[in-house]
Structure 1
Amino acid sequence: MHEITLAAGWITTGTGLGNDIKDLIFNVAIPVLCGLFVVVVGWKTKAPGPTIMAVIFAAIVWGGSANMDTLKDKTTEDINQYDDGGAGQQLWNQGDQ
């Protein structure tokens, strides 16, 4: 008997939609929501302090989402370093020197 994938077309369509939706979220939705967040905070508070903090927070969120590849690589580095036992770093048993 031959194995047949009955949903081959749907799997390809789902993968394509998944990539498109991911691009839509990272390139459109997050920047729009960050801008909307700043506008709403500025409108509701009518004060410069909270609005500036909203701009900073929105920039952190937007920047983090825009640099997911870099963050992924950094996280992988940290995990590998932790798995290697600190890669030669001794943070304990150094005593008072």
Structure 2
Amino acid sequence: MPYILQIDFPYTGPWGEEMTKAMDALARSIADEPGLIWKIWTASESTQEAGGIYLFEDAESAQSYLAMHAARLKGFGIPRVNGKLFGVNDALSRINRGPV
């Protein structure tokens, strides 16, 4: 069963195109993570938050990634990392055009 991982954390920028340039190498690194199917990057300048929604092949891959990424973000000076893991109901998600 695939699993969704939701991560968010306080973030003060950069935003937009500057964020894209600054995070390019990180995005390429994330693309190579074991079990990752896709990631959608999220950012809210108004609430000073960023993060992502990830789809992993299995819970173990998602949990392993969360532990590694939370430690990496804390190493970048981000004090709080929120992560939630959810199982995906493929059949219902397909009815609603979910990319699973």
TM-score, reference length from structure 2: 0.31
TM-score by length of 1: 0.32
Higher helix share: 1
Q: Structure 1 or 2: larger strand share? A: 2
From the CA coordinates, give the structure whose radius of gyration is larger: 1
